[in-house]
Amino acid sequence: MRGRSPFYPIQVCVGVILAVPFFFPLTALGQDFPTRPILVYAGFEAGANTDLSARALAEEAQKELGVPVLVENKAGGGGSVVATLLATKKPDGYTLAVITTSALDTRHIVLSPGYNPFKDFTYILSYGTGVGGLFVKRDSPFRNLQDLIEQARKNPGVVSYSTPGPGGGQHLSAEFLAKQAKVKFKHVPFKGDAPSATALMGGHVDFASGGGLQMNYVTQGVFRMLAVTLSEERVPEIPDAPTLKELGYKNVPPYSFVLLAPKGLPDPVYKRLDAAFRQAAYSPEFQKKLKNFKTPFVFKDRRQLEAEFPERYQFYADFLKELGLLKK
């Protein structure tokens, strides 16, 4: 073997030894991760669909990851509190969050919180879309949506409604309806679905724009659902409630439930989390629970989320400007 140094075997060994420190940490990181419990922040209060679905997803994911996956509620700002907190955490895979895309587009645009949805996160996946509705108490004099609109037309700014917070899908769907119907509602925001539902139950507002929690109250005979928002399909469990489209109104795009990590997550750790939570999302157990939460299963991976987000963000920036909801 001409041209090869007699010290070639030694040189190869030295080269391999010197190279090990450069590739071993990442390889080992993927193989060893996780070695301790993983914390997932849920961006809404206990009992909200974000909380319930995050806990169901965590329960299935920990079977694959082999460590506890704990869920901690951090309600406020429609998920923006959690997003702000997550952006400050170490990107080691041990701190994640489940929030809705509303915190990344509409609420970010309206509230201008301390995070950048384009730069501060590693998107992992989304597993469902929100379905909303307009709800009244069972004994409300508003028998249908037209009754509500007529009352608002006669009393501009008097008919009030609660939501889980400003800038979310429930808020914007109600405001978009008001714009089309040429009426003005009085918006009363709360920190989550539960207090929003309680406000309606106590008669503090005339109607609520909400989601799965309020739908559960419909099936229990506490509320009535005047119309389905954020979806063009009726809710199977509440078949008598028409969609806004059926009633001649346009709607806003639905929000998604998204799992994300701080920016800079190492690729081996991302792949480990993606595989585990993907398997959890497609498990029969999780899908059954998601159906019970009135949440349609729609899976999107990191590539799909990153591709669609800029366009979605620009849509809402223009939409919010048109509605006059942007900060001056």
Most confident of 10-14, 171-175, 265-269, 313-317: 265-269
Stretch 65-71: mean pLDDT, rounded? 98
Length of the chain as a residue count: 328
DSSP at 293: T
- Reply yes or no on whether the pLDDT at 8 is more than 80: no
Task: Give which of 240, 236, 212 is closest to 224, Cα–Cα.
Answer: 240
φ, ψ dihedrals at 147, nearest 5°: -60, -45
DSSP per-residue codes, 140-183 = -S--SHHHHHHHHHHSTTTSEEEESSTTSHHHHHHHHHHHHHT-
Stretch 166-172: mean pLDDT, rounded? 83
CB contact burial 242-277 (16+ within 10 A = b; e otherwise): ebbeebebebbbbbbbbbbbbbebbebbbebbeebb
pTM of the model: 0.75
Amino acid 30: pLDDT: 54
| Cα dist from 88 to 35, 76, 84, 115, 317, whole Å | 22, 17, 7, 9, 25
- Reply yes or no on whether the pLDDT at 180 is more than 90: yes
The partner residues of 70 in beta bridges, in order of sequence, read 39
- Reply yes or no on whether the pLDDT at 79 is more than 70: yes
Q: What is the per-residue pLDDT across 232-242, written as a single tens digit (0 to 9) for each?
A: 889 888 999 99
Q: What angle do CA 297, 298, 301 make, to 5 degrees?
A: 130
Q: Residue 202 — pLDDT band, cuts 50, 70, 90?
A: very high
Amino acid 2: pLDDT: 46
- Reply yes or no on whether the pLDDT at 141 is more than 80: yes
The residue among 193 and 180 whose pLDDT is bigger is 180
- Reply yes or no on whether the pLDDT at 26 is more than 60: no
Amino acid 315: pLDDT: 83
Mean pLDDT, all residues of the chain: 88
Stretch 92-113: mean pLDDT, rounded? 89
- Classified as helix, coil or strand, 311 is helix
Query: Per the structure block, which two tokens stand in for 137?
Result: 């108490």
List domains and CATH numbers for the chain: 31-130+255-323 (3.40.190.150), 132-229 (3.40.190.10)
Amino acid 1: pLDDT: 43
Give me the half-sphere count of Cα atoms (radius 13 Å) on the Cβ side of residue 59.
13
Stretch 3-27: mean pLDDT, rounded? 46
Residue 257 host element (H or E) = strand 256-262
Q: What angle do CA 147, 153, 154 make, to 5 degrees?
A: 95
Q: Residue 7 — pLDDT band, cuts 50, 70, 90?
A: very low
Give first-to-last CA distance, the chain, whole Å. Answer: 77
Chain CA centroid to CA 9, Å: 56
Amino acid 327: pLDDT: 58
Q: Residue 226 — pLDDT band, cuts 50, 70, 90?
A: very high
Alpha carbon distance 83, 72 (integer Å): 13
Taking residue 291's Cβ as centre, other Cβ atoms within 10 Å add up to 14
Residue 278 host element (H or E) = helix 267-281
- Reply yes or no on whether the pLDDT at 122 is more than 50: yes
DSSP per-residue codes, 21-70 = HHHHHHHHHHHH--SS-EEEEESS-TTSHHHHHHHHHHHHHHHHHSS-EE
φ, ψ dihedrals at 193, nearest 5°: -65, -40
Stretch 262-290: mean pLDDT, rounded? 97
Alpha carbon distance 286, 253 (integer Å): 24
Q: What percent of the chain has pLDDT over 70?
A: 90
Q: Residue 9 — pLDDT band, cuts 50, 70, 90?
A: very low
Q: What percent of the chain has pLDDT over 90?
A: 62
Task: Give which of 197, 199, 204 is closest to 220, Cα–Cα.
Answer: 197
